[in-house]
Amino acid sequence: MMSTQQLHILRSTYIVTFMSAVLLIIIFETGMLAKGIYAYDSMTNYVCEMIGTFLTIVCIPLALKLMSFSMVKRMLNQDSGKYFTLSVVRISLLALTLLYNVASYYLLGEDATLGYLALMAVVAFLFIWPSRGKMDYELENARKHQDQ
pLDDT tens, position by position, 8-39:
999 999 999 999 999 999 999 999 999 998 88
* DSSP three-state, residue 70: helix
Residue 146 lies in a domain: no
The Cα-based distances of 38 to 33, 62, 96, 97 in angstroms read 12, 30, 20, 19
pLDDT tens, position by position, 95-122:
999 999 999 999 999 989 999 999 999 9
Q: Contact, 87 vs 118, CB < 8 A?
A: no
CA-based torsion, 2, 8, 137, 65: positive or negative: negative
Residue type, 114: L
Global model pTM greater than 0.85: yes
> How far is the C-alpha of 106 from the C-alpha of 138, rounded, in Å?
37
Residue 60 lies in a domain: yes
Q: What domain count does the chain have? A: 1
Residue 103 CA, chain-centre distance (Å), reads 15
Residue 84 lies in a domain: yes
Residue type, 7: L
Q: How many CA atoms lie within 13 A of 112 on its CB side?
A: 0
Residue 145 lies in a domain: no
pLDDT tens, position by position, 32-61:
999 998 888 889 999 999 999 999 999 999
Residue 117 lies in a domain: yes
Range of the domain at 51: 4-140
> How far is the C-alpha of 6 from the C-alpha of 25, rounded, in Å?
29
Residue 62 lies in a domain: yes
